[in-house]
Structure 1
Amino acid sequence: MSANHETVIAATREWLEKAVIGLNLCPFAKAVYVKNQVRIKVSEAANPQQLAEELAEELQLLAQADPEEIDTTLLVHPKTLQRFLDFNDFFDITDAIVGELQLEGVLQVASFHPKFQFEGTGINDVENYTNRSPYPTLHLIREESLDRAVAAFPNAEDIYERNIETVQQLGVAGWKALFDPKAD
């Protein structure tokens, strides 16, 4: 593993531990993370076509893997789709790949990006931080695992709103302080 990959994985793990799990933004993440069932794959893709090919490979790998070994995959791609609008547009391709592989209803892909912005928000609005990651990241999720987690979690439909409340209370400065305690 190259030093660059180690840096990307370390930053991704820190984000998972401090934000996703630490702030409980995803109440389902801790269980699979502590069981080491989260695959973090760093992509070398330099363009969207290469990323699409790698995404197809990762979707197939996850679909065939034993969930006890790999329950979910984070495909982190630090070299492509740096602009959020390009990343967002890539989801048409993502949906097409899932369909072509006949994995609709089996796997889904969620999005995280350092510049994530919900429709109708300003670039600096704190609620965008619920989906901000250190690098552009495609989260490959087993729908069966998601269904089980949602069924076991009371009021799962409220997670999104609770997450917004959490980051609003924290504020941008608080979010930054999670990763740099010296940040003002």
Structure 2
Amino acid sequence: MAKAQQHYSTEQIEQLTRQWVETMVVGLNLCPFAAPVVKDNSLRYAITDARGSESLVAAFMAEIEQLLAASEKEISTTLFIVPTGLEDFYDYLDHLRLFEELLEQAGLEGVIQLASFHPGYLFHGVAEDDLSHWSNRSPWPVFHIIREAEMSRALTHYSNPEQIPERNIKRLRELGREALIERFPPFADYC
């Protein structure tokens, strides 16, 4: 991953992540619920410099507390961005499982859910070069912290939400690798 060898400031990490959200997630409508949150500026970009499991857990739990203490208008949802330390996809997945267990232990199952994004995201059993992976690829490892009540309300106004993944995969495959890189050039560094 060429990007991992460069140093990015916190501002650059946030800017590139915002660009990814606006260009890919909202621009391609990969998440039909993202546009209002981006428009309302209630999406929090939380970039951590924590390294190692213990400090990552502390930073993650602090973000959970901050989200729960805020109103939905202030912070609707949070992208917890880990620019260093989880470059390996399988290390990232280990932390995803750990964070999910911590939410369950804290009694937040059914209150908070996580969505996962990583530069090297791979769906199990799918060829590595398949464009379906790009639906969950981001510039850095990201844990998307979502309020379940808000998501449930959004789903009541969306018909056939179970078809979103298939629709996204079809769209990504139709666009093709080169068109996706043209849309978001940083993808060339890790896809």
With the shorter chain as reference, the TM-score category is over 0.9
User: 8 Å contact 2:24–2:184 — kept in the other structure?
Assistant: no
Contact kept? 1:81, 1:136, Cα under 8 Å: yes
Q: Provide TM-score, normalisation by structure 2.
A: 0.90
Matched, 1:74 2:56: no
**Do residues 55 (structure 1) and 21 (structure 2) align?**
no
User: What residue is the counterpart of 2:159 in the other structure?
Assistant: 154
Query: Counterparts of 1:175 and 1:48 in 2: how far apart (Å)?
Result: 33
Query: Which range moved further: 90-99 or 133-142?
Result: 90-99
Residue in 2 aligned with 1:85? Answer: 90
Which one is further off, 168-177 or 128-137? Answer: 168-177
Give 5+ residue unaligned stretches, structure 2: 1-7
Matched, 1:178 2:183: yes
How many aligned residue pairs are there?
A: 180
* Corresponding residue to 2:18 among 1, 13, 18: 13
Which digits, 9 at most, give the CA deviation of each residue in 1:89-130, with x for residues without a partner? Answer: 212211111022211111111100000001111222110000
Q: Distance in 1 between matches of 2:54 and 2:134?
A: 28
The secondary structure found in structure 2 opposite 1:86 is helix
Percent of aligned pairs with the same residue? 38
Q: Distance in 2 between matches of 1:133 and 1:79?
A: 14
The answer to whether the 8 A contact 1:63-1:107 is kept is no
Deviation track 1:39-83 (CA, whole Å, cap 9, x = no partner) reads 001100122221111111111111121011101000101011110
In the other structure, the counterpart of 1:163 is 168
Report the CA distance between 1:27 and its aligned residue: 0.3
* Aligned-partner residue type, residue 173 of structure 2: Q
AA of the residue aligned to 1:17 = E
Q: Does 1:114 align with 2:100?
A: no
Code of the aligned partner of 1:125: D
Aligned to 1:125: 130
Are the aligned partners of 2:96 and 2:143 in contact in 1 as well (CA < 8 Å)? no
Q: Distance in 1 between matches of 2:84 and 2:122?
A: 20
RMSD: 1.4
Measured after TM superposition, the shift of residue 131 of structure 1 is 0.3
TM-score, normalised to structure 1's length? 0.94
Q: Can you give the 5+ residue segments of structure 1 that lack an aligned partner in the other structure?
A: none
Q: 2: distance between equivalents of 1:53 and 1:82?
A: 19
